[in-house]
Every structure is written in C-alpha cells, then in structure tokens.
Chain A
C-alpha cells in the first residue's frame, strides 16, 4: 500500500525558512516522480514543485521559483521541500503526491498534508 507522510509544518515568521519532509513507503521510491501541491485556507489546489524519478530534473511554479528547493534522499525514501524567504501568501496545507504515470497530469496518491503558517 502506498503511503506518504508529510512532516515539518509549523508557524514561521515572514522571511523565515522551513523544511517539509514526505516519507514514502509501499512503492519503489526511485522510479516515481514526486510533487508538492499546496492549498491555502479555503482556497483551491496550487501546484508548487515537482522532481523527476531519480531526482535529475526539478520544476517550480513561478510563485516559488528561487525561494523553494525540492529534493529527494533515496536512502531514506524521503521527499523534501526547503522553503526560504517565506511570505504570508505561502500559508497553506502542503501535500506531497505522486503519479503512477509521469507526464500525464494525474496525481494518484496524496499524503495527509502539513500545515505551514507564515505570520508575524
């Protein structure tokens, strides 16, 4: 059974940093692309970043480019999102998600989410 478990959320001041983790199990980690999707309170889904299977290629939404960095640790089966220079508008629940087939716009499995609150 595929399981994705996010951690690392919390309250941070504007301009601060936070690192989210997503521990994965139930599938061969290195063979799947992985993504982060966020949802601001009461709002819709918003793609943040993706990393290719094996981690060679990374992709970012314009709103986070230059501030967020996505990475993986194959030895720990874990996906990360390093978030720097956080802004009020980054406040959201952050989900990690994977497609069973990359490049098809589908996200088959989702974690339960981690809440990030940016506020002074």
Chain B
C-alpha cells in the first residue's frame, strides 16, 4: 500500500500551463484506467477534478485535463489562474483490497 509519487511542487505564470506527474506501479496506475485527481484548498475537503484518467465531473472547467502512459499519469492545468494555487493529489484504484491509493501531493504555485 505504497503512495503514488508526485513532485512536491510545480509552478507557472498566469495563463501558462503546468503539468503534474503521478507515478505508480502495474498494480495501481498501470493496471487500471482508474486514475483520479483531486484539488484541495487549505482547510477544505478534497474536490474531485478528474476521474477514469481523463473525465471531468460536471462543473469542472476544461482547463483541467488528465492523461496516462504506462505507470505514470499526468494532470495538466491550462490557462493558470490565481485560484489554481493550491494542493493537488492523484489517486488510483489498486484492487479490491486496496481501492484507493493516493499520491504524495503537489503544491502548485501561480507566479
């Protein structure tokens, strides 16, 4: 039940794009097309941004997009806005006995 690996930080200027990676194993990220991404503002509960690698729940702007290649998934935030400055976590299904495997988290800074 090891955590997925994310870079601790990422940054970009307003209007630019930033991409966050999420590396797992063939038992989680690589084994299923069930990667999710969450946004968490300080003191708040996580919010689902992406599910099943690249799908967005209703209400999530299309500035947020996801992809996957092998054991690594990625979240891209395009057209960075000040409100995007916060923490992001990836998650993956890891099987029946390990249904939620989370990433180590990435703090995004808007320069």
Interface residues of A (CB under 8 A from B): 35, 37, 44-47, 50, 59, 61-63, 95, 103-108, 110-113
Q: How many contacts A-B (CB < 8 Å)?
A: 73
With A103-B93, A105-B100 in contact, do A45 and B36 touch (Cβ < 8 Å)?
no
Q: Is the CB of B105 within 8 A of A44?
A: yes
Given contacts A44-B105, A45-B38, are A108 and B100 in contact (CB under 8 A)? no
CB contacts (< 8 Å) of B105 on chain A: these are 44-45
Q: What class of interface size applies to chain B in its complex with A?
A: 20 to 34
| Chain B residues within an 8 Å CB radius of A108 | 48, 51, 57
Q: Within the complex, what minimum Cβ distance (angstroms) separates B15 from chain A?
A: 29
Question: What DSSP secondary structure best describes chain A's contact surface?
Answer: loop
Q: How far apart sit A35 and B45, CA to CA, in the bound complex (Å)?
A: 14
Shortest Cβ distance from residue B12 to the other chain A in the assembled complex, whole angstroms:
22
Dominant SS among interface residues on chain B: loop
Evaluate contact between B52 and A104: CB separation under 8 angstroms: yes
Is there an interface contact between B91 and A107, defined as CB atoms closer than 8 Å? yes
CB nearest neighbor in B for A6: B45
Known: A59-B96, A59-B99. A106 touches B34 (CB 8 A): yes
Q: Chain B: which residue is nearest A35 at the CB level?
A: B100
Residues in A with CB closer than 8 Å to B110 are none
- With A105-B35, A105-B99 known as contacts, the answer to whether A45 contacts B89 (CB < 8 A) is yes
User: B102 — which chain A residues lie within 8 A by C-beta?
Assistant: 37, 44-47
Within 8 Å CB of A112, what residues of B?
45
